Amino acid sequence: MHVLCPVTSPPLLETRGLTKIYGGKTVLAGVDLVVERGETVVVLGGSGSGKSTLARLLVGLERPTGGHILVAGRDLVGLPEDELARERQRFAMVFQKYALLDSLTVYENVAFPLRERRMSEREIRERVMRQLDALGVADAAKKLPAELSGGMAKRVGIARAMVMDPEILVYDEPTSGLDPVTSRVVDELIDEVRERFCVTSLVITHDMATAWGIADRVVLLDGGRIAIDGPPDVVLASDDPRIRPFADSSGVDPKRLGHRKQRSSPAEVRARWEQRRPAPELRERRSLADVLFSRA
């Protein structure tokens, strides 16, 4: 077994026997996945393997048919609505096609998740602008999504996901439909967000190069289960016939992957997260700006 970072007990996120059945069709047949705080886990899987379904279950857009989702050891399945809603704020999703609302400005798109909460206009403004600033798109605040480049739209999508100050960011196919050069820019952005916000990331993709570039751990979703789980160098170099097809779809031969960029380890990200974040009971009171720009 490969231990990539000292294991925290309990892990930040764990699924046990997670299942999803749609009208008699079993899409997830018992997903067992552990994600430690600070890790970037890349979930590989073919088209229709249930990757988006897994993402939707994790962020709470859908309910599982069976199994458990544990966050810091607490089972979300069976929690009362209000407590579930609070736990769900620990997750955010960056959608495949950014999912920005066309008729709203960048500012209003990012403010959107805050509008449902009782928050003063001043606090909303502060949070949104700091978030846009952190992602380098503050100048685009008044623009409409149609006026943005793909790269900027991606940054705005991430700003919106981050505005509620989540601990776990789930990206659904962040590079799908992008050319290889732009895809690598998006990989860098995911790494930048991790460095900056110390988030734990789950990146769902079929892009081998993404897996190689940013994963601390790679898992393969196949047959409704986690079929392979390990460090990227081991998983991507394996002769397992379930891994090979990803080389073709991404144009990257897993056996000829080059040099990996030096990145922070999950343990380093976790240590920084713990330094910078207040205890959960205080988080409600502090704005993202306080957390981001405070000196530990």
Query: Which residues of this chain interact with ligand ADP, rule CB under 6 A?
Result: 22, 27, 45, 47-53
Three-class secondary structure of residue 227 per DSSP: strand
Q: Is 205 in the site for Mg ion (CB under 5 A)?
A: no
Listed ranges 25-33, 52-60, 104-112, 248-256: which one lies at the site for Mg ion (CB under 5 A): 52-60
Which element (helix H / strand E) includes 119? Answer: none
Q: Is 52 in the site for Mg ion (CB under 5 A)?
A: yes
- Looking at the Cβ atoms of 88 and 206, the one nearer to Mg ion is 206
- Looking at the Cβ atoms of 163 and 219, the one nearer to ligand ADP is 219
- Looking at the Cβ atoms of 52 and 175, the one nearer to ligand ADP is 52
Q: In whole angstroms, give the CA distance from residue 247 to residue 208.
A: 6
Q: In whole angstroms, give the CA distance from residue 212 to residue 218.
A: 9
- Looking at the Cβ atoms of 62 and 229, the one nearer to ligand ADP is 62
Q: Quickly tell me which residue has 């952005």 as its tokens.
A: 189
Listed ranges 50-58, 111-119, 218-226, 274-282: which one lies at the site for Mg ion (CB under 5 A): 50-58
Report the interhelical angle of 150-162 vs 121-134 (nearest 10°): 130
Q: In what order do the strands lie in the sheet with 66-71?
A: 25-35, 13-22, 66-71, 74-75
In the list Mg ion, ligand ADP, none, the entry touching 47 (Cβ below 5 to 8 angstroms by class) is ligand ADP
- Looking at the Cβ atoms of 22 and 293, the one nearer to ligand ADP is 22
Q: Is 53 in the site for Mg ion (CB under 5 A)?
A: no
10 upstream amide cis, omega within 30 of 0 = yes
In the list ligand ADP, Mg ion, none, the entry touching 88 (Cβ below 5 to 8 angstroms by class) is none
In the list Mg ion, ligand ADP, none, the entry touching 175 (Cβ below 5 to 8 angstroms by class) is none
C-beta neighbour count of 81 within 10 angstroms: 7
- Looking at the Cβ atoms of 62 and 290, the one nearer to ligand ADP is 62
* Least separation in angstroms between CB 287 and ligand ADP: 34
**Percent of the chain that is helix, strand, coil (3-state, to 5):** 40, 20, 40
User: Is the distance from CB of 168 to CB of 91 less than 8 angstroms?
Assistant: yes
Site residues for Mg ion per CB under 5 A: 51-52
